[in-house]
Structures are given as structure tokens and as C-alpha cells.
């Protein structure tokens, strides 16, 4: 069991959640304020998506990322900054005419998903390690081996630590291949994403099996969505991993009680402490992950 646990707060995501909770941050100012509040509550890492201010949907606008990062860096806290690089993989097909792309498609190359990473050079960025039937309907998240190798090589050139997002066991298999090929610098960082339809189900036995597949020396985090978020904090700590919470994955503090990112962070930290571990400071997280501090 880990004695020092890295707590990541995933602030807003790109899902259609803004109509379900007024606490989901949308503007750069709101997202940065939540990042700062989560860091003050004890989060080691803040995981950042941005949203279009008008539509409230997920965005790839570099200017929005630039403003969030500027505001966080100008604050009195210094969390590890983790930017998503997963936007641009959405393919929505017509089930009766699969070659036809429908509204909601946002599909670009692996390299074209990285302009904000290239400009801002965060300490961590994500890389989604496989394609996935994403929920009901005809939405596919596309991340092919060629895209992944090309993206991983560019991230490595930039000196940014990739957090490999693992949505199923095949994703983990391929992530391990990239580690073996030298595309991922040590120690590799894995994020085991559980409970997202239709990837890996939130099953403790499956989490244990995935942990058993990790290479020696790997660092890993795991999370599950919805009401499994806090039980998964305990699952991850007990198996020796780090944890992630936040409004990207869960909107509630308890049944019927809407949460804030700071409240979810505080609750996760209390679980970590109750299990006999302690939460890593941002600088301790940097040391554990051997990441390059960015200016």
C-alpha cells in the first residue's frame, strides 16, 4: 500500500454535465478558480479540460487553455498541471450508412491534438491508449496505434510526462508495448479508467488484474465514475496506487447533494488518511513521477 498518495482533481471534463450541476466550471476563470480551490484543499495534481464559453461543450481552443494555466500559475498554489490531450477523437457514424459522419464528430490526427501541449508545456498531458465504443448510440472514440505512437513520440520530444489513459485491458496491452518500445520515459504513468461504458467495468477483481499487468516501476492511478468514485479511492490506495476525483467523473458528494471539486478533494483526502497513508504535496508528486517542472 502506498504511503504517499498523489491526489488528482479532474475539474470539468468534456461531458454534457453542465446542465446537471451548476458547480461544473465552464469559463477559464471558473476552471482556474476550481483548480486553485482543489489545490488549497490538498490536491497534488489538477487535470484540466476547457469548455466553449457559449455552448459549454468541450473545446480544443488553445487560448482557453492558455488563460486557465496563466491564472493557476499566478495564484498562491503550485499544483502539478495535467492537460488533457484527448480532445479530437470523436467519431459519430450513421449506423445505416457507416461511412457518413454525423454531428458531434471531432476527429483529427494524433499530432493535431497537441497544439496546447506544445505551447504551454504542462508537466503532464494525457494520451488515450486505444479506441472505444463510447457509451450508447454510435459514438466511437478513435485512437489508433499509429496515432498513439506518433503522439507519444512528440510528447517525449517536448519533455512532458504522458499519463496513459487506460479504458480496457487491450489499451493496457498497447501501453505496455509503447513502454517496451521506449516511447514512454520511466517511470511510466498509467491512469486506469473504470466504469465508463463500454470500457472496463468497475470491478475490483478486474482492477487487480490490470494492476498485475503493469510493468515493474510503473506509477498508476485509478478512478471510477459516479457513485463508485469514493469507493475507488479506497480500492486504489489499498492496491498501491494513486487516486483521482473531481466533477469530470462524479457530480455528487452524497445522494442528492451536489459536490464541488474542493469538497470531493477533501473527502478523498480523508479516505486516504483514514487508510493510514498520506497525501503527496505537489513537489512530492513531482519527485514520485520524476516529471520535469515547467516554468
**14 CB-near residues (< 8 Å, 6+ apart):** 49, 51, 57, 58, 84, 87
Residue 147: give the domain boundaries: 4-289
Give residue 292's pLDDT: 73
Which triple of cell numbers denotes residue 170?
A: 487491450
Annotate 94-132 with DSSP letters as a single string. Answer: ETTEEEEEPTT-EE--SGGG-HHHHHH--SEEEEE-S-E
Give residue 221's pLDDT: 98
Alpha-carbon span 193 to 200, nearest angstrom: 7
- Residue 48 is assigned to a structural domain of this protein: yes
- Residue 235 is assigned to a structural domain of this protein: yes
- Residue 294 is assigned to a structural domain of this protein: no
CATH number (domain holding residue 147): 3.20.20.70
Give residue 2's pLDDT: 65
Shortest CA distance to 183 belongs to which of 218, 156, 159, 160? Answer: 156
The residue with cell 488533457 is 84
- Residue 57 is assigned to a structural domain of this protein: yes
Could you tell me how far CA 64 lies from the centroid of its own chain? 18
In the chain, which stretches have pLDDT less than 50? none
Which triple of cell numbers denotes residue 184?
A: 514512454
Number of domains in the chain: 1
Which triple of cell numbers denotes residue 199?
A: 470500457
Amino acid at each position: 500500500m502506498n504511503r504517499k498518495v498523489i491526489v488528482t482533481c479532474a475539474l470539468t471534463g468534456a461531458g454534457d454535465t453542465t446542465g446537471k450541476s451548476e458547480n461544473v466550471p465552464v469559463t477559464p476563470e471558473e476552471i482556474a478558480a476550481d483548480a486553485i480551490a482543489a489545490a488549497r484543499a490538498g490536491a497534488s495534481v489538477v487535470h484540466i479540460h476547457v469548455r466553449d464559453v457559449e455552448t459549454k461543450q468541450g473545446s480544443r481552443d488553445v487560448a482557453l487553455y492558455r488563460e486557465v494555466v496563466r491564472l493557476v500559475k499566478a495564484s498562491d498554489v503550485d499544483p502539478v498541471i495535467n492537460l488533457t490531450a484527448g480532445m479530437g477523437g470523436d467519431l459519430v457514424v450513421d449506423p445505416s450508412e457507416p461511412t457518413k459522419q454525423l454531428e458531434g464528430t471531432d476527429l483529427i490526427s494524433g499530432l493535431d491534438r497537441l497544439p496546447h501541449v506544445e505551447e504551454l508545456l504542462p508537466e503532464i498531458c494525457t494520451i488515450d491508449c486505444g479506441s472505444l465504443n463510447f457509451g450508447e448510440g454510435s459514438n466511437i472514440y478513435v485512437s489508433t496505434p499509429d496515432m498513439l505512437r506518433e503522439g507519444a513520440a512528440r510528447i517525449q520530444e517536448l519533455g512532458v510526462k504522458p499519463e496513459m489513459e487506460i479504458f480496457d485491458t487491450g489499451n493496457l496491452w498497447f501501453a505496455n508495448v509503447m513502454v517496451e518500445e521506449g516511447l514512454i520515459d520511466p517511470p511510466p504513468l498509467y491512469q486506469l479508467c473504470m466504469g465508463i461504458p463500454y470500457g472496463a467495468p468497475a470491478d475490483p477483481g478486474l482492477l487487480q488484474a490490470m494492476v498485475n499487468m503493469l510493468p515493474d516501476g510503473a506509477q498508476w492511478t485509478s478512478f471510477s465514475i459516479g457513485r463508485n468514485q469514493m469507493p475507488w479511492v479506497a480500492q486504489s490506495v489499498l492496491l498501491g496506487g494513486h487516486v483521482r476525483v473531481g466533477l469530470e467523473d462524479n457530480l455528487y458528494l452524497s445522494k442528492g447533494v451536489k459536490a464541488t471539486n474542493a469538497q470531493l478533494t477533501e473527502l478523498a483526502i480523508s479516505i486516504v488518511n483514514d487508510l493510514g497513508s498520506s497525501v503527496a504535496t505537489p513537489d512530492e508528486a513531482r519527485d514520485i513521477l520524476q516529471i520535469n517542472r515547467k516554468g
